[in-house]
Copies of this chain bind each other. A is one copy, B any other.
Amino acid sequence: MSLPFYAIIMAGGSGTRLWPLSRQTRPKQALKLIGERTMFQLAVDRLLPIMLPERIIVVTTGDLVEQLSAQTPGLPRRNFVIEPEGRGTAPVIGLGASYAKHLAGGGTVVVACLTADHYIKDVSKFQSVLLAAATVAEGGQIVTLGIRPSFPSTGFGYIQRGEPLAMAGGFAVYQAKAFKEKPDEAMAAAFVADGLHSWNSGMFIWTTDRVSAEFSRQLSETAARLAEVARTFDTPGMSETLRRVWPTVPRQTIDYGIMEGAAEVAVLPVDIGWSDVGSWASLLDILEPDEAGNVLMGGDHLTFDTTGTLINSERLVAAIGLSNLVVVNTDDALLICPRNRSQEVKRVVEKLQQQKRNGYL
């Protein structure tokens, strides 16, 4: 690898799937779900052994920037860029890549576009994968990280692989033949069975030259707006310019806006213990359950004849005779549901939105 290697951590957004612990002002990436580090801290920790802190760029919202910056005192404060409002992943990545190029003094660099709120169990393998992907990206490819599906999920997009393209760092890289939306159950089962499909992790690695070329070609209006912002990078006018320009940037995701219309896209299928931590139940899979199959987080707990249950509470919880439940107890709200229905927490959040009970959101 000859080009400098940068990362863009997308740390905006406010998930509701871990309500009542996750809130608008305290989204998943800011929470300690796995051990004593927040999801965002873990995302940074994963990079530090292979990347200088000065090369880790965080794009987040104004609400979160102080919180996240305080969580990672090792990252320069100037590396935190604010997206004034959510406009989809495409503008975020365009902005981050442009800023990376600026920080690098204007030369071409490789940028890894990464998420702030996903879990990766096998960190050292992930680091090897990133470095391998970077070498392939230097050759001009957009390298997407595909996750080997562990079950026929209908909640993820899939990437279909085509012909083998290269070996890098011991990993096989394939041509990405197609990006597929979230499939129905039958299609998901077929994807898993054919061995050619990976989950789309939302992580990819490319050069800033490639970013510029794709944005100019496919999202020219966005490219023009971002160029306007780029002229003010590191000047006092930057935040004012961002606030003025950003709302005029077309909303777009990177998958629709760039990936689906791009040639020379590669997929690097990996098995790194990845999880999007998309529900409370997912933590029962990620974390080490005790002998009874329970995951007991925070506070203290007295359990009797209780199995397969996740409890997250700072206060004392006494559980008798529970089976496969999720219990999340915060200062102001308590969620209880069966483990296999924890994704239905969105019904609660929708109800609270309808009732305009913003304090709970």
Contact = CB atoms under 8 A, between A and B. Distances in A.
B315 A338 contact: no
Copies of this chain, whole number: 2
A361 B337 CA distance: 28
A245 interface: no
A340 to B, nearest CB: 9
Given A302-B348, A348-B304, A320 B333 contact: no
Nearest to A335: B318
Contacts of A198: none
Nearest to A317: B334
A336 interface: yes
A327 interface: yes
A345 interface: yes
Nearest to A349: B318
B334 A321 contact: no
A344 B304 contact: yes
A356 interface: no
A315 to B, nearest CB: 6
Contact of A318 (B302, B317, B334): B334
Interface residues of A, number: 32
Contact of A348 (B320, B344, B360): B320
Contact of A333 (B318, B327, B332, B351): B318
Contact of A320 (B302, B315, B319, B345): B345
A251 interface: no
A316 B329 contact: no
Contact of A317 (B331, B336, B338): B336
A325 interface: yes
A153 to B, nearest CB: 21
Contact of A20 (B313, B318, B338, B351): B318
Contacts of A315: 331-334
A341 interface: yes
Nearest to A348: B318
B322 A336 contact: yes
Nearest to A334: B317
Q: Nearest 9 CB-CB pairs, A to B? A: A320-B337, A316-B333, A318-B348, A317-B334, A321-B341, A318-B335, A321-B338, A320-B344, A319-B336
Given A317-B336, A318-B334, 4 more contacts: A318-B336, A318-B345, A325-B336, A329-B334
